[in-house]
Amino acid sequence: MSTKPRSHETVSFPGFAESQAFWQSASQQAEVWLKGQPEIVAKYQAAAQNWMVHRQEDFTKAVETYKQMSECKDFGKAAAIQQAWFAGCVQGLVADWMVLMDPMTDGSRRHSKRTKEGAIAVTKVPQETSA
């Protein structure tokens, strides 16, 4: 008899049930935070759309680069073509990653600034000592 689960059966992972509450809580907190930051959500959406467009452009460039390399008779020249394509892709990825990180840092700065401004003042009351 096989112990392999069938396609319609679910398999539990050890510790997952306990961590599920954590991830649900984290998800709810992220949703609350994002609902309060509509401009950040708009920045994320634009950054994600640009990310996809740029990756599609990178794929097109990869096909063009492959064609150039396959027509090349000189190995050194083919390697230079490949290197230029790869460097452009990495630069694009880093630039897009930085754009994706900007809304997060803006939101964190705004959140920490708001917390400092709206902090509740706590004063210590001197305790009486009996002698």
Decide if 13 is inside a domain: no
Q: Decide if 25 is inside a domain.
A: no
The answer, yes or no, to whether residue 120 has pLDDT greater than 60, is no
Q: In which domain, by residue range, is 82 found?
A: 39-106
How many whole angstroms separate alpha carbon 57 and alpha carbon 70?
Answer: 20
CA 89 from chain center: how many Å? Answer: 18
Question: Which tops the pLDDT comparison, 121 or 73?
Answer: 73
Of the ranges 18-27, 56-65, 94-103, the best mean pLDDT one: 56-65
Highest mean pLDDT among 2-11, 36-45, 62-71: 62-71
Q: What Å distances lie between residue 86 and 18, 53, 94, 102, CA to CA?
A: 43, 17, 12, 25
Tell if the pTM clears 0.85, that is, is over it: no
Tally the domains of the chain. 1
Q: Are 69 and 81 in contact (CB under 8 A)?
A: yes
Question: Domain for residue 66, yes or no?
Answer: yes
Residue 101 carries which side chain, given as an amino acid letter?
M
Q: pLDDT digit string (tens) for 32-48?
A: 877 777 888 888 889 99
Query: What pLDDT does 122 receive?
Result: 47
- Asked if residue 69 belongs to a domain, the reply is yes
* Residues near 39 by beta carbon (within 8 Å), at least 6 away in sequence: none
Whether residue 129 is contained in a domain is answered as: no
